[in-house]
Amino acid sequence: MTAHEGDLNGSIRNVSDLGPGARPVEGDRISQARRDPAAFADLCQRHYDRVFRYCVHRLFARDTAEDVTSTVFLKVVGGFDGFRGGEQDFVRWLWRIATNTVNAHLRKTARRERLLGTLASEVRTENTGIPVADEAAETRLALKRAILGLKPRHQAIIALRFFEDMSVSEIAALTGGSPSTVRSQLSRALARLRRDMARSGVGREFG
């Protein structure tokens, strides 16, 4: 985790971690945020990077991830008065909102199709518009396609485990299941990915 990325557990390590435009907040940030809209905006900004990254990791498209990140925080605005708890609870609440928002986004078939379409063009442009006709790029495309093809819940577990580096217990706490359920869902998701990758016929042997 980088210095400015924020901490999943919500502990502030350095005032400079707050990022541009943010101000240090004394005492309980949640209480401050309830009273002061600027402190509320700072609190959200503090967690912006992590939420945005998670959205990218789920959607593989920056523009869409920015849209969904905006939606997540606007839901926080709407629900903050009803939220009870400290900053660690806030972080868990935020993750749940983010996960539900991304899942809802992905449940719309048209949106998923659009993401798949974006991926198809993306793999062929590494920054310059020039197609990359190499095996590694094709493999990455196939993997992203396979991930987007998973059920949203399974996809969330894959993203939390492999892109957010969360433990099974942390995922269970966020998703509201037991660790054994998460483990079994993770195993099923990996098996499905393996099968889809084998079917795609690119890269290494997965069958």
Binding site for another protein (CB under 8 A): 19-23, 37-38, 40-42, 44-45, 48-49, 52-53, 56-57, 60, 62-63, 65-67, 69-71, 73-74, 76-78, 80-81, 120-121, 124, 126-134, 136-137, 139-140, 143-144, 158, 162-163, 187, 190-191, 193-194, 197, 203-207
Cα–Cα distance measured from residue 189 to residue 11, given in angstroms and rounded to the nearest whole number? 32
Instruction: Please list, in sequence order, all residues whose beta carbon lies within 8 angstroms of the beta carbon of residue 30, skipping any fewer than 6 positions away.
Output: 43, 85, 86, 87, 90
Amino acid at the residue 177: G
Residue closer to another protein (CB basis): 125 or 176: 125
Instruction: Please list, in sequence order, all residues whose beta carbon lies within 8 angstroms of the beta carbon of residue 145, skipping any fewer than 6 positions away.
Output: 116, 119, 196, 200
CB of 143 to another protein, least distance (A): 6
CB of 16 to another protein, least distance (A): 13
Residue closer to another protein (CB basis): 23 or 176: 23
User: According to DSSP H, which parts of 80-167 are helical?
Assistant: 87-107, 109-122, 135-148, 152-158
CB of 130 to another protein, least distance (A): 5
